[in-house]
Structure 1
Amino acid sequence: MRKDYGRFLPGAALTVALALGVAVPTGATASRPTLPDTVPVAAQAACVTDPATPKRQFRGMWIASVANIDWPSRTGLTPAAQQAEYRGWLDLAQQRRMNAVVVQIRPTADAFWPSTYEPWSHWLTGTQGGNPGYDPLAFMVAEAHARNLEFHAWFNPYRVANHTDLTKLTASHPARKNPGWAVAYNGQLYYNPGIPAVRAFVQDAMMDAVSRYDLDAVHWDDYFYPYPGSGGGFPDQATFAQYGAGFSDIADWRRNNVNLLVQEMHDRIQAIKPWVKLGVSPFGIWRNAGTDPLGSRTTGLQSYDAIYADTRRWVKQGWIDYISPQIYWHIGHPSADYAELVRWWSETVTGTDVQLLVGQATYRAGAAGQDAAWQDPAELTDHLTLNRAYPRVTGDIHFSAKDVRADRIGAVTRVATDHYRRPALAPAGVGGTAPAAPSLTSAVRGTGGVTLNWQRGATGSTAEYAVYRLPGDGAVDPCALADARNLLGTLRASGSTGTFTDATAAPGSTYRYLVTGLDRLHAESAASNARVVTGTGGTFSVIVDNATSGGFTAAATWGTSSYFTTRYGANYRFAEPQAVSDPAWFTATLPAAGTYRVEVWYPSDAGYNSATPHLVATANGTVTAKVDQRTGGGQWRVLGTYDLAAGTRQVVGVSRWTSTTGYVVADAVRITRL
């Protein structure tokens, strides 16, 4: 994964639409019979959803093995130490509510499994060909799937070594047996992409892992032909003379060589395991508009011309299942603006079945030597906020795991707080078939929480389950399942039954539980029947009005009005927007730390502010959500679901700091424990 790219300026956060709220019963109810009907999973377009809690979002991080960047941390660790380190990375992914890891298993024409084609990687033991004493790939896949994390196997097709001496390779290495396959360039050894036998061999080497292990995807990064180096171009003129019939231009021939690798590999994967995706994470710029009118409004290095990767064609031809361009610049960068590149890639995948994931430069956030924009803790989270304006962006991959763990300047925490507050299902792939709905057979409250048991659906192939928890009892609105606000978690299917314990269930709360089944491509079934578990003391819910004694504070800059009858209570407060926060605060007393739904009430008017900032003081820091107060007034509107601390404190604020015009309004809030 390249790290030597240019950079760019944080942009304003985008206004997002907020979900409509439904009032939750606040008292405990008597046990009711199980609701027998399955619940359809509503199409997201048919419901108003909260963009801060998307139901489907790819969330991954790269775990790099080359040069021991992430894992293993050094060569020569014992199997037990290697395994413990890897489990630690998966624990981190779970803590950050990720649903995938992208793990490098063939970094330099070697293998992290007992390959029948290439030697054991020296990044494991320190000696190429040295047996690590176990099968790392089998272990890694099993551990990831035990946590229901997708395992994307990251291969480098052509890189042979980070040196140019063939004699340093183990004697059995294919490059030593076939020295004509290898090219020394810019201090490294590469397989020559122009030799048809090489193309077939590297495919065979990767397909060995695809056929023998339960992978979710094959993943390539940005190394095809090597990046231009000093001392002239890539030395393959003799290969062109031998194999370049039909091409007058060596650049077109090189691109065709890479095109064939991509197309053939995709076809081979589909032929044996059609659920295994092929994903590519290329350099972030295909071509600049100054070179090609189809290109982006950028002026950086062009992967089409520099490394012969015609990524746009791969998308348009459907030769890949997802693309994750490394958009490693900040918002406003003069040569490669993050905002421009997200727009360009979004337009590029439109009209295709290729999913767009964004490769995020998490390694830049707060790092020494980076531009000033990357010293702003909001830069990275602003990237994901901007992505919401482009529905074709289905998630992100962070480079790399050690930077996710380092969390310099709290940038990763900001991303998790603003965008990963709830679990998320992986984006659905093409060709999936939803299985039949599971049957939820029991939901029993015990000392460790609420334990659910269910039977797999009678038809279809169920690969995983999603578990939902809704507050209160009564009929289930399908829109309650349209985003992730009620999603508890997911787990891999095993056998014909499933079980899950909700350890976060509050003893005093009444809940409805439902389960769905998903196939290998994440197509989701209808939800199971609902099971109701009653609480012992009623669901906690509190309403704080702007007139509540001790519950509301605002400066004299905030006016008072009772003009609109759609207000909550006797009146409401309003203020002009200004470049100063000056928030009006709602204070509440919360009985215990936990997950709470926060709703707001305001009278709406066409002249009010379209992006009123609401501040929520969560247990993990202050989160900002913007509300369009021109519409949706006179009812409870869901601001979001947040982890809040116990005690009496200012919980929700309404800020004046917005660049949009029109009064900002503070009327009432409702906070309900889930």
Structure 2
Amino acid sequence: MGAHRTLWLRTLASTVAAVTAAGILTVVAPAGASSRPGFGTTACQTNPATPKRQLRAMWISSVANIDWPSGTGLSMSTQQAEFRSWLDLAAQRNMNAVVVQIRPTADAFWPSPYEPWSQWLTGTQGVDPGYDPLAFMVAEAHARNLEFHAWFNPYRVATHNDPSRLVASHPARQHPDWIFSYGGRLYYNPGLPMVRAFVQDAMMDAVTRYDIDGVHWDDYFYPYPSGTEQIPDQQTFAAYGSGFSNISDWRRNNVNLLVQEMGQRIKTVKPWVKFGISPFGIWRNSSTDPLGSATSGLQSYDAIYADTRRWVKQQWIDYITPQVYWHIGFSAADYAVLVPWWSNVVAGTRVQLFIGQATYRLGATGQDPAWQDPAELSDHLLLNRNHPQVLGDIQFSAKDVRADRLGGVSRMVADHYSRPALIPVAAHLGGTAPAAPSITSAVSGTGGVTLNWQAGGSATSTSYAVYRVSGSGPTDACAFADARNLIATVRATGTTGSFTDKPAAAGTYTYHVSALDRLHNESVASVGAVVTVGGFSAIVDNTTAGRFTASANWGTSSFSTQRYGTDYRFATPVAASDPAWFKVNIPATASYRIEVWYPSNAGYNAATPHVIVTTSGNRTVNIDQRTGGGQWMVLGTFTLAAGDYNVVGVSRWTTGTGYVIADAVRITSV
């Protein structure tokens, strides 16, 4: 390790230590959230190693079968099994997104009306693989709550230069004037307006028809320079270049138009779909342009006519992921120079910054010695912490994440991805945080702690975040400020959800669940559910299916914000037996603490009878429901018999006035 890198690491370590010691996050509650845990205006000390929000993704390349499918002509079941294994790898590494190449060479991984089936699927361009890979991939990614970013290459037609090898129906065969050969490859001509419209149409077909989360382009616009060969577009410039004094500015404008127009078309059809580009890591060198970076490498502005800085400043895109594929201390293009430069570029814009990581270099044969250090990749993410504009990383590529050479990926995950993370919110895309869900049951069993919950309100939830806090509460607001207590995110299916947690140690834990919309706006947290692991704990709400019964004399209300879950039951007092019952499957005859939850109101009953069915007969505890609502109220500890039966009843038989309330019951072994 050189002196420069050693000095940098020491400086970074001291800076991160200072940030950790003094790092404060202010958590601000949405209106009306004060009755929920984890919200309020609170200064919280957060841990940069467990950020609440961070994009974590990997590229899955299809061109030349780099990642998936592993070869051409595989059976549908083999292809699907391979893809599932990539998604499982992403989930195991606590990633939350995948970027999948679905249009590598002017072809398609879906039944496109514009372009042929990709040869990388079947080995022969235009041959149907027998299923819809894109529909399958999106569904599988979402089932694991991974965002699916569809990766397109706008202009590359083939990795060879023989048009006759393309299927006869290929648009490049139908319109030979649309393409040119350069560097042994075929490209659509970016200078032709009809080409620019066509490639947009081809990509928009996937945007319109599939539930993708993002449109992603890599760094191929005009081709990279190939020796002294000139791009054969002089005639195109003569025909379409009016108003431009030189061909370079015209080429840049052609790419600018593609970026600007595609962004507008995406937002017109699906405003929530993100548009991101992963360009070459250097825009221009400062020796050429004072706005450039202190580097001396290839300049994408000049070499491939990609004015990446302008795309950010004009906010034509939602995120940018520069391929900063060099190590810390590399003289021509230092990672420690380029990350601050890109951070300054996005500062003051709404464009999010993620860093493209050269995972493929780590431990690979023939790479610079710096890439033989297992800590190199982890050190990149450590440096990123000094730049709050950096909101995550994408690893190239999936096979290198799996290879984990030198254990470098495992080290990065241990240092930076030890907890799950929510995807950063792009505020300009809108969205609305759903209402808080309510936990309807929380039971500790041999398989772990199983939580069930009900969505709150009418807003649609796309996913849920599950938090586990040690102890029985109340939960401090700062428990939600970072991901220290975040244990999982779960894709939404209808209005209910479930998750089984397996805590590493026995003890008492409080679980909370929050809801997120598809743009990752998060609700306030649910009311906590306390579970004793190594013992027994169960919550039964009045909405828990098959666990609550009441006659038609009991009404339903959601009036009080102190309710547990979506609503509660109420009835007028009467001198007759008409209880509302909570049924619980008691695992063994033993002592159990019984608690009830109810909303309170000055007009409710002052002596609501609660009947507990114990081994020594029924016991009645009267509760003043005029006060003390919106929390768990202990009735006492009782010996209950094993079995599945009505354990707690709320009776209407009282001499007091005002409604009696039945809302939720919690039973915990002691």
Q: TM-score of the superposition, structure 2-length normalised? A: 0.75
What's the offset of the Cα at 1:18? Answer: 3.4
* Residue of structure 1 in register with 2:20 after alignment: 18
> Does residue 386 of the first structure (1) align with residue 383 of the second (2)?
yes
Task: Give the aligned residue type for 1:193.
Answer: P
Query: Which residue of 229, 232, 254 maps to 1:232?
Result: 229
1:318-357 mapped onto 2 (5 Å cutoff): 318-357=315-354
> Does residue 510 of the first structure (1) align with residue 508 of the second (2)?
yes
* Residue of structure 1 in register with 2:488 after alignment: 489
Query: Which residue of 153, 172, 180 maps to 2:150?
Result: 153
Q: 1:253 to 1:290 in 2, by over 3 A?
A: same
Q: 1:256 to 1:20 in 2, by over 3 A?
A: closer
What's the offset of the Cα at 1:20? Answer: 9.3
- Contact preservation (8 Å) 1:42, 1:482: no
Give 5+ residue unaligned stretches, structure 1. Answer: 1-7, 22-34, 539-674
- Contact preservation (8 Å) 1:37, 1:529: no
Aligned partners of 1:481, 1:109: CA distance in 2, in Å?
A: 45
* Residue of structure 2 in register with 1:259 after alignment: 256
Aligned partners of 1:536, 1:141: CA distance in 2, in Å?
A: 39
* Residue of structure 2 in register with 1:561 after alignment: none
Aligned partners of 2:145, 2:83: CA distance in 1, in Å?
A: 15
Q: 1:128 to 1:499 in 2, by over 3 A?
A: same
> Does residue 286 of the first structure (1) align with residue 288 of the second (2)?
no
What's the offset of the Cα at 1:37? Answer: 4.0
What's the offset of the Cα at 1:231? Answer: 4.0
1:200 partner SS? helix
1:290 partner SS? coil
* Residue of structure 2 in register with 1:106 after alignment: 103
- What's the % identity of the aligned pairs? 70
Aligned partners of 2:39, 2:137: CA distance in 1, in Å?
A: 33
Aligned partners of 2:100, 2:409: CA distance in 1, in Å?
A: 20
Aligned partners of 1:75, 1:340: CA distance in 2, in Å?
A: 41
1:418 partner SS? helix
- Give CA-to-partner distance per residue, 1:344-392, whole Å, 9 cap, x none: 0000000011110000000000111001100111111000000000001
* Residue of structure 2 in register with 1:56 after alignment: 53
* Residue of structure 1 in register with 2:639 after alignment: none
> Does residue 479 of the first structure (1) align with residue 478 of the second (2)?
yes
Aligned partners of 1:223, 1:90: CA distance in 2, in Å?
A: 26
- Contact preservation (8 Å) 1:9, 1:333: no
Aligned partners of 2:234, 2:163: CA distance in 1, in Å?
A: 21
Aligned partners of 1:474, 1:282: CA distance in 2, in Å?
A: 48
Aligned partners of 1:429, 1:435: CA distance in 2, in Å?
A: 16
Aligned partners of 2:504, 2:460: CA distance in 1, in Å?
A: 30
Task: Give the aligned residue type for 1:379.
Answer: E
What's the offset of the Cα at 1:36? Answer: 11
Count residues with an aligned counterpart: 516
1:235 partner SS? coil
- Contact preservation (8 Å) 1:449, 1:505: no
Q: 1:73 to 1:41 in 2, by over 3 A?
A: farther
- Give CA-to-partner distance per residue, 1:228-278, whole Å, 9 cap, x none: 112422110100110111111111111111111111111111111111100
Task: Give the aligned residue type for 1:18.
Answer: T
Task: Give the aligned residue type for 2:188.
Answer: Y
Task: Give the aligned residue type for 2:194.
Answer: A
2:56 partner SS? strand
- Give CA-to-partner distance per residue, 1:561-592, whole Å, 9 cap, x none: xxxxxxxxxxxxxxxxxxxxxxxxxxxxxxxx
What's the offset of the Cα at 1:38? Answer: 2.2
- Contact preservation (8 Å) 2:461, 2:518: yes
- Contact preservation (8 Å) 2:38, 2:479: no
1:235-246 mapped onto 2 (5 Å cutoff): 235-246=232-243
Query: Which residue of 367, 372, 397 maps to 1:370?
Result: 367
* Residue of structure 2 in register with 1:38 after alignment: 36
What's the offset of the Cα at 1:460? Answer: 2.7
1:98-247 mapped onto 2 (5 Å cutoff): 98-247=95-244
Q: 1:42 to 1:285 in 2, by over 3 A?
A: farther
Aligned partners of 1:120, 1:489: CA distance in 2, in Å?
A: 37
1:619-638 mapped onto 2 (5 Å cutoff): none
What's the offset of the Cα at 1:207? Answer: 0.4
What's the offset of the Cα at 1:463? Answer: 1.1
Q: TM-score of the superposition, structure 1-length normalised? A: 0.75
Aligned partners of 2:188, 2:418: CA distance in 1, in Å?
A: 44
What's the offset of the Cα at 1:47? Answer: 1.4
Give 5+ residue unaligned stretches, structure 2. Answer: 24-32, 537-670
2:294 partner SS? coil
Q: 1:36 to 1:247 in 2, by over 3 A?
A: closer
Aligned partners of 1:404, 1:433: CA distance in 2, in Å?
A: 34
Q: 1:524 to 1:41 in 2, by over 3 A?
A: farther
* Residue of structure 2 in register with 1:615 after alignment: none
Task: Give the aligned residue type for 1:340.
Answer: V
Further displaced range: 197-206 or 9-18: 9-18
> Does residue 525 of the first structure (1) align with residue 527 of the second (2)?
no
1:366-445 mapped onto 2 (5 Å cutoff): 366-430=363-427, 431-445=430-444
1:170 partner SS? coil
* Residue of structure 2 in register with 1:559 after alignment: none
Q: 1:135 to 1:167 in 2, by over 3 A?
A: same
- Contact preservation (8 Å) 2:183, 2:229: no
Radius of gyration: which is bigger?
A: 2
Once superposed, what is the RMSD of the aligned Cα atoms?
Answer: 1.8
* Residue of structure 2 in register with 1:669 after alignment: none
Aligned partners of 1:193, 1:294: CA distance in 2, in Å?
A: 27
Q: 1:121 to 1:9 in 2, by over 3 A?
A: farther
What's the offset of the Cα at 1:436? Answer: 1.2
Task: Give the aligned residue type for 2:166.
Answer: L
Further displaced range: 450-459 or 237-246: 450-459
Task: Give the aligned residue type for 2:94.
Answer: R
- Contact preservation (8 Å) 1:36, 1:530: no
Aligned partners of 2:492, 2:21: CA distance in 1, in Å?
A: 31
Aligned partners of 2:140, 2:40: CA distance in 1, in Å?
A: 32
Q: 1:450 to 1:236 in 2, by over 3 A?
A: same
What's the offset of the Cα at 1:46? Answer: 3.0
1:492-641 mapped onto 2 (5 Å cutoff): 492-504=491-503, 506=505, 508-536=506-534
